[in-house]
Amino acid sequence: MKISTFFYTLKQGIASIFRNKWFTLASVATIAACLFVFGIAYILTLNAANILHNAEERVSITVFFDEGIEEKRIQDIGFLIEDMKSRGIVARYEFVSAEQAWESFSKELGENAQGFTENPLADSANYQIYLNDISRQDEVVSYLESVEGIRKINKSDLTVDALSGLSTIVTFISVSMIVILFAVSIFLISNTVTIGISVRKEEINIMKYIGATDFFVRAPFVFEGMIIGFIGSAIPLAALFYIYVAALDFIGGVFGFLSGIVVTLPPAQIFMGLVPISLLIGVGIGFFGSFFTVRKHLHV
């Protein structure tokens, strides 16, 4: 393709945008609205996933040993857990001795702990295991129950089920919203391109009669759709950035006491992924919406 042809078709695509400005504005507004909602869903999903991940990191499996177990056997069990860590199953783990367990518990008892002359938790040494994916809790517990020297395993089934359920719901809602919004966007771009084809129908027929190539006829409409998609994706990105920064300042000022529980992601981390995804989606919607509409109505 010649450079001159490229710029000519691009110029025609831009001209078509202004020629059908009301339909163009409707398409841009719809894509912007769709990607704005997508951006909100993306931000909420990432932050919800981050909050859930932080909550998951606090959920542990507690492994207690047989009474009178040898120190070497405890170390061997530790090696097995370390192996699971090397395979990405375990995020981290720590050994809690009987003395450490009593020290922690005695702080909760306060003055009541003074009545004990001996450590009542003498057989409570344990490993605290934190998983990378809590949905694998049953798998890990089943494996550990078969390990010699382990007396009991405490796990949090209710917490795991609740966190896994929340994660599934967040994902389902986000995907559903995205699919519906994208369908609406493609429909509107298709209508905009169809109007453009109707307006230029006579011109297109003349171009075909004098031997214009399929690309030469189609390209302006495809460029038109891509430009609409780009503009429609750039507008909500700017709005979302300022809204998110303002929201973080508001949350930090009013709900600062929740900072240890609700851990939000910084803007840079959010928009590092959101910007290219939104631009790609916007331009992609414009491209496919216009490309298939042109093929359908021009028959070229």
What confidence tens digit (pLDDT) does each residue in 166-214 have?
667 767 777 777 777 767 766 766 666 666 566 666 666 666 677 666 6
Which pLDDT value is given to residue 277? Answer: 86
Q: Judge contact between 159 and 59, C-beta under 8 A.
A: yes
Average pLDDT of span 162-168: 66
Contacts by 73-76, CB closer than 8 A, 24 or more apart: 73/148, 73/149, 74/125, 74/149, 76/149
Q: Is the pLDDT of residue 284 over 70?
A: yes
Sheet strand arrangement including 90-96: 90-96, 126-131, 60-65, 150-154
Distances 261 to 86, 131, 146, 252, 257 between C-alpha atoms, Å: 28, 19, 35, 12, 9
What residues does each domain of the chain span?
3-54+162-298, 60-155
User: What are the structure tokens assigned to 185, written together?
Assistant: 């966007």
Query: In the predicted model, is pLDDT for residue 274 greater than 60?
Result: yes
Q: Which residue in 87, 94, 182 sits closest to 130, CA to CA?
A: 94
Q: Is the pTM here over 0.85, yes or no?
A: no
Q: Any idea which residue has 């507004």 for tokens?
A: 29
Phi/psi at 262 (5° precision): -95, 100
Residue type, 188: L
pLDDT exceeds cutoff 80 at 233: yes
Long-range contacts of residues 80-85, Cβ cutoff 8 Å, at least 24 apart: 80/147, 81/127, 81/129, 84/140
Residue 216 burial by Cβ neighbours in a 10 Å radius (0-12, 13-18, 19+): middle
Contact (CB, 8 A) for 289 and 34 = no
Instruction: Read off the pLDDT of each residue in 16-33 and give the average, rounded to a whole number.
Output: 74
- Please report the sign of the dihedral spanned by the C-alpha atoms of residue 64, residue 137, residue 131, residue 44: negative
CB 113, CB 141: distance < 8 Å: no
Cα gap 263→195, rounded to integer Å: 48
Residue-wise pLDDT for 58-108, tens only, equals 777 888 888 878 888 888 888 998 988 898 888 888 888 777 766 765 665
Q: How far apart are CA 85 and CA 88, in angstroms?
A: 5
Question: How far apart (Å, rounded) are the C-alpha atoms in residues 235 and 28?
Answer: 9
Of the candidates 90, 162, 159, the residue with the CA atom closest to the CA atom of residue 127? 90
Fold of 60-155: Alpha-Beta Plaits (3.30.70)
Contact 184, 35 (CB under 8 A): no
Q: Identify the pLDDT of residue 184.
A: 72
Distance CA 137, CA 141 (A): 6
